[in-house]
């Protein structure tokens, strides 16, 4: 919200400097976003006259203007539809810094024609919201003068008001807060009732159903007004805070809205048929509103109608059919209270953002219904004249006289700050609370404009807010036995990530969403879809991290990277999971290891990602013997080059392998991509292995190599398991050191060479004994697999 320092000083007598006031505002919870000195800004602009207008040779919508700035004739290209010869305009000469400080006016060519400055719209210089055309200054504005000569010096303060403080959506409320904190003296308004001379011609009725959403509605008929341009003081006050003056009647309501957060509405009384009724819509009613939009009401929305037509969406926006114009003679003034929840709901459903909605949904002061109508009447009489009726009304001002019983010791208990009774009472009095003491406890009733005050904590906040948050002491809460704090899951995740970083993978973070298009490529159905995605690229929750990682691969390859090794730890989503999500760890490798003088480069392959996966599992204390591999990875993997990890407790842990070539192609990646993924939610408990008893006696170990020719389909693990079955106590190591297919080996067969280490613990093996063991191993493999021992 914007207001000027002079406006504030209407209600705050203070000698404090602007910067001191701004600092205080921020420390009161009214954050100052910006302070603008309009003089410095306006000094950059000149009043100029358009002396000639021609069509632009290269663009239909643009005009070539000759503009006299009092000294020179400038050529300026202008796109405004309203530019015409003889018009007095606001010129931004070359070098002008616009509101957005990065935008500086420069000499430039627009569609091939040089332009030596810019003609400004209201919006461009912060004097209103109109951006459709340029400002048409009054004839008497003197060509060559600075724009600042037309506007008095104003310091404009832009503050951010938190949703609980609707009272500070008015300058009056801000002044009260500042006064309470010692920044000056609050100057209270003195409002006297204007006596009506006749009974209002238009009466008000709130329908029974609408009483809870519109508990009170005041109105007043004023006849023979003369609507006109507002006087200068009013216009300039509104312009300074960024509002465009329209006509006195409209400007007065806007002024009071900012002055004391009292939204008002003025109907053209001659456009009203009969009386007004506030009612709940049945649904389907149509209204063309002041912003020229058509809205269709739905059931239960609160609205205002006369005997014939719908006139207004209550508390949000008026209808165009009953609006005031310059020739309006008789008016009906509305001052009402609408339920915040109802206004918020209607506003959200119809998607209308108006200032009235913003204020009503945050809650206005119910008392201001009666005060506001008098204040508005007074201003209308002063500016537009007329004769006023008595106030007509329906309903009662909803005053909730809540009482809060408060023990002052609570403040220290809650903040560590000791506050004296004197300070306590003084702060609350200045904020408008009624304070009485009953024994050791206070009885407090908050003012009508502070509907946000409900309980003890609210009172405490008021006290420390005004007294100063900076006065609250601070106490450290470090503990001495931090090692006892349980952060196991954090530690485990960090360890896993570190082990992958050591394997050469870099950690990335991608969106939790992905595109439906990618989900389809991956054959993923039943995705959790986002109802309101920010783009169609991010419209479903990811069922796997891999598609996002593939996008990352392509992005980096397009950027000239030759190898991409990434991993991510994060959630994937599926409605069949508990809480719809599980934490996955997924990684990809694409490209090849670096060229090096000691090591030939080689493309990554499935055994790189298998090792990545084994590394993580080892990091989680799950050795290879705690899981088995199967050939049943999902369809987005290469059927022949992929596998799954299956824990002994039957849970599927994850997958690894080459991504299906068809999918890679659809992601426009030209080289194979290898991936792994591991479900961290279903990992079994650590596999605890006790250290073996160490035998210090050193008996001779025996190493023997065998090569088998066997069916290609038989997995090496089968051979290893068969070997281990024999003499498992003696065998300390089984290692496959060669796998060969091709020349010399029959079609459909392969040769596997295994090296076996026998390590006796209590004796030295005799030759005959070794012979027997080897024979057993060989026959076991041969009998079970049909393998043939390869002769050396």
Partner 1 sequence: MSEELENLEKQIEEKITNATTLDELNSIRVEVFGKKGLITNHLKSLTELPENERKEKGKKINNVKNKINTLLQQKNKNLSDSEISQKLQKEQVDITLSTRPFEEGKLNPITQTIAEVSTIFQKMGFETALGPDIEDDYHNFTALNIPPEHPARQLHDTFYLKGKNNKLLRTHTSPVQIRTLEKKKPPLKIIAPGRTYRADSDITHTPMFHQVEGLCLDKDINMSHLKGCIMDFCREFFEINDLPVRFRPSFFPFTEPSAEVDIGCFKDKKKIKIGSGGSWLEIMGCGMVHTKVLKYSKVDASKYQGFAFGLGVERLAMLKYGISDLRSFFDSDIKWLNNFGFSIFENIEKI
In angstroms, what is the minimal distance from the CB of 594 to partner 1? 5
Give the list of residues 6+ apart from residue 273 with CB closer than 8 angstroms, or none. 306, 307, 308, 309
Please give the full DSSP string across 691-757, using - where no structure is assigned. PPPP--S-PPPEEEEEEEEEETTS-HHHHHHHHHHTTTTTEEEEEEEEEE-STTS-TTEEEEEEEEE
**Binding residue for partner 1, selected from 472, 628, 736, 739, defined by CB under 8 A:** 472
Could you give the count of Cα atoms lying within 13 Å of 385 in the half-sphere of its Cβ?
Answer: 7
Contact 552, 518 (CB under 8 A): no
**Is 531 near partner 1 (CB under 8 A)?**
yes
**Is 308 near partner 1 (CB under 8 A)?**
no
Q: At 669, which helix (H) or strand (E)?
A: none
As a whole number of angstroms, the distance between CA 518 and CA 37 comes to: 52
Find the distance separating the first CA and the last CA of the chain, reported in whole Å.
91
Rg (CA), the chain: 40
**Binding residue for partner 1, selected from 141, 500, 609, 617, defined by CB under 8 A:** 500
Check residue 196 and report its DSSP letter.
P
Nearer to partner 1, 31 or 387 (CB): 31
In angstroms, what is the minimal distance from the CB of 18 to partner 1? 17
Contact 73, 54 (CB under 8 A): no
Query: Residue 258 has which token pair?
Result: 């900012």
Check residue 790 and report its DSSP letter.
P
**Binding residue for partner 1, selected from 497, 638, 660, 750, defined by CB under 8 A:** 497
Nearer to partner 1, 21 or 564 (CB): 564
Sign of CA dihedral 574, 577, 579, 584: negative
Q: Which of residues 402-431 bind partner 1 (CB under 8 A)?
A: 413-417
Query: Residue 567 has which token pair?
Result: 């991993």
How is the beta sheet containing 31-37 ordered, strand by strand?
2-4, 155-160, 31-37
Nearer to partner 1, 581 or 651 (CB): 581
Nearer to partner 1, 476 or 690 (CB): 476
**Is 139 near partner 1 (CB under 8 A)?**
no
Nearer to partner 1, 79 or 468 (CB): 468
**Binding residue for partner 1, selected from 99, 501, 628, 648, defined by CB under 8 A:** 501
**Binding residue for partner 1, selected from 351, 476, 670, 690, defined by CB under 8 A:** 476
Contact 46, 135 (CB under 8 A): no
**Is 131 near partner 1 (CB under 8 A)?**
no
Q: Please choose, out of 43-51, 272-280, 576-584, 704-712, the segment that lies near partner 1 by the rule CB under 8 A.
A: 576-584
Nearer to partner 1, 162 or 630 (CB): 162
Of the candidates 692, 687, 694, 722, the one whose C-alpha atom is nearest the C-alpha of residue 706 is 722
Nearer to partner 1, 145 or 510 (CB): 510
As a whole number of angstroms, the distance between CA 498 and CA 516 comes to: 32
Of the candidates 461, 409, 406, the one whose C-alpha atom is nearest the C-alpha of residue 431 is 461
In angstroms, what is the minimal distance from the CB of 171 to partner 1? 19
Nearer to partner 1, 191 or 552 (CB): 552
- Helix/strand/coil for 567: strand
In angstroms, what is the minimal distance from the CB of 460 to partner 1? 6
Vertex 719: Cα angle to 717 and 724 (nearest 5)? 95
In angstroms, what is the minimal distance from the CB of 418 to partner 1? 11
Size of the site for partner 1 (CB under 8 A): 97
Q: Which of residues 192-251 bind partner 1 (CB under 8 A)?
A: none
Q: Which of residues 28-57 bind partner 1 (CB under 8 A)?
A: 28-29, 31
**Is 592 near partner 1 (CB under 8 A)?**
no
**Is 530 near partner 1 (CB under 8 A)?**
yes
Nearer to partner 1, 110 or 404 (CB): 404
In angstroms, what is the minimal distance from the CB of 213 to partner 1? 12
In angstroms, what is the minimal distance from the CB of 489 to partner 1? 7
Binding mask 330-369 for partner 1 (x = CB under 8 A): ----------xx--xx--x------------xx-------
Backbone phi, then psi, for 750, in 5-degree steps? -140, 165
Nearer to partner 1, 221 or 358 (CB): 358
Q: Please choose, out of 53-61, 323-331, 493-501, 784-792, the segment that lies near partner 1 by the rule CB under 8 A.
A: 493-501
As a whole number of angstroms, the distance between CA 113 and CA 118 comes to: 14
In angstroms, what is the minimal distance from the CB of 248 to partner 1? 32
Q: Which of residues 437-456 bind partner 1 (CB under 8 A)?
A: 455-456
**Is 682 near partner 1 (CB under 8 A)?**
no
In angstroms, what is the minimal distance from the CB of 505 to partner 1? 4
As a whole number of angstroms, the distance between CA 151 and CA 605 comes to: 74
**Is 9 near partner 1 (CB under 8 A)?**
no
522: left (phi over 0), alpha (psi -120 to 50) or beta: alpha
Nearer to partner 1, 52 or 458 (CB): 458
Q: Please choose, out of 389-397, 431-439, 510-518, 715-723, the segment that lies near partner 1 by the rule CB under 8 A.
A: 510-518
Nearer to partner 1, 414 or 687 (CB): 414
Nearer to partner 1, 532 or 690 (CB): 532
Contact 88, 139 (CB under 8 A): yes
Contact 415, 462 (CB under 8 A): no
Query: Residue 259 has which token pair?
Result: 């002055």
């Amino acid at each position: 919200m914007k207001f000027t320092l002079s406006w504030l000083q209407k209600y705050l007598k203070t000698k404090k400097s602007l910067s001191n006031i701004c600092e205080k505002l921020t420390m009161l919870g009214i954050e100052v976003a910006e302070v603008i000195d309009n003089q410095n800004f306006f000094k950059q602009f000149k009043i100029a006259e358009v002396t000639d207008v021609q069509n632009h040779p290269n663009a239909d919508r643009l005009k070539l203007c000759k503009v006299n700035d009092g000294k020179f004739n400038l050529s300026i290209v202008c796109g405004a539809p309203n530019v015409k010869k003889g018009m007095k305009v606001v010129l931004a000469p070359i070098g002008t810094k616009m509101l957005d400080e990065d935008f500086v006016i420069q000499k430039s060519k627009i569609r091939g024609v040089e332009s030596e400055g810019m003609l400004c719209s209201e919006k461009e210089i912060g004097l209103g919201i109109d951006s459709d055309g340029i400002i048409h200054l009054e004839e008497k504005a003197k060509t060559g003068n600075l724009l600042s000569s037309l506007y008095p010096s104003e310091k404009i303060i832009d503050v951010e008001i938190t949703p609980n403080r609707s009272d500070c959506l008015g300058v009056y409320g801000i002044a009260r807060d500042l006064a309470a904190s010692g920044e000056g003296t609050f100057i209270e308004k003195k409002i006297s009732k204007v006596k009506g001379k006749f009974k209002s011609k238009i009466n008000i009725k709130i329908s029974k159903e609408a009483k809870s959403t519109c508990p009170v509605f005041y109105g007043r008929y004023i006849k023979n007004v003369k609507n006109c341009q507002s006087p200068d003081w009013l216009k300039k006050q509104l312009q300074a805070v960024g509002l465009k003056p329209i006509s006195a009647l409209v400007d007065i309501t806007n002024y009071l809205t900012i002055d004391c957060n009292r939204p008002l509405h003025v109907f053209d009384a001659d456009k009203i048929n009969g009386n007004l009724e506030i009612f709940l819509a049945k649904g389907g009613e149509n209204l063309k509103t002041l912003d020229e939009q058509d809205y269709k009401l739905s059931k239960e929305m609160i609205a205002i109608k006369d005997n014939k037509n719908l006139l207004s969406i209550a508390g949000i926006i008026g209808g165009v059919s009953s609006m005031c114009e310059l020739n309006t003679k008789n008016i009906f003034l509305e001052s009402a209270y609408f339920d915040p929840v109802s206004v918020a709901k209607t506003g959200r459903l119809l998607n209308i953002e108006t200032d009235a909605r913003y204020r009503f949904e945050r809650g206005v002061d119910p008392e201001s219904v009666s005060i506001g109508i008098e204040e508005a009447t007074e201003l209308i009489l002063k500016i537009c004249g007329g004769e006023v009726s008595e106030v007509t009304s329906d309903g009662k001002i909803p005053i909730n006289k809540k009482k809060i019983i408060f023990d002052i010791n609570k403040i220290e208990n809650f903040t560590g700050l000791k506050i004296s009774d004197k300070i306590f009472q003084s702060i609350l009095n200045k904020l408008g609370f009624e304070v009485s003491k009953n024994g050791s406890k206070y009885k407090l009733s908050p003012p009508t404009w502070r509907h946000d005050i409900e309980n003890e904590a609210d009172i405490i906040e008021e006290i420390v807010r005004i007294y100063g948050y900076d006065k609250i002491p601070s106490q450290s809460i470090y503990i001495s036995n931090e090692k006892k704090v349980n952060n196991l899951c954090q530690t485990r995740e960090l360890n896993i990530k570190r082990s992958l970083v050591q394997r050469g993978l870099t950690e990335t973070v991608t969106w939790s969403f992905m595109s439906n298009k990618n989900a389809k490529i991956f054959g993923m159905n039943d995705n959790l879809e986002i109802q309101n995605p920010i783009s169609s690229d991010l419209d479903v929750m990811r069922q796997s991290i891999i598609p996002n990682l593939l996008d990352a691969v392509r992005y980096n390859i397009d950027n000239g990277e030759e190898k991409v090794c990434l991993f991510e730890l994060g959630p994937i989503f599926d409605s069949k999971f508990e809480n719809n999500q599980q934490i996955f760890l997924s990684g990809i490798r694409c490209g090849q290891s670096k060229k090096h003088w000691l090591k030939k480069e080689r493309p990554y392959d499935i055994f790189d990602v298998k090792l990545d996966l084994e590394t993580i599992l080892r990091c989680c204390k799950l050795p290879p013997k705690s899981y088995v591999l199967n050939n049943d990875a999902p369809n987005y993997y290469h059927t022949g080059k992929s596998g799954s990890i299956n824990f002994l407790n039957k849970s599927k842990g994850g997958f690894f392998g080459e991504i299906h070539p068809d999918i890679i192609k659809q992601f426009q990646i030209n080289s194979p991509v290898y991936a792994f993924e591991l479900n961290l939610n279903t990992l079994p408990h650590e596999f605890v292995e006790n250290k073996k008893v160490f035998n210090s006696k050193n008996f001779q170990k025996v190493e023997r190599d065998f090569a088998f020719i066997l069916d290609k389909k038989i997995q090496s693990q089968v051979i290893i398991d068969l070997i281990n079955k024999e003499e498992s106590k003696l065998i300390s190591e089984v290692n496959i050191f060669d796998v060969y297919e091709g020349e010399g080996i029959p079609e459909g067969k392969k040769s596997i060479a295994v090296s076996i280490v026998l390590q006796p613990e209590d004796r030295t093996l005799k030759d005959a004994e070794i012979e027997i063991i080897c024979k057993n191993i060989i026959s076991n493999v041969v009998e079970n697999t049909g393998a043939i021992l390869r002769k050396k």
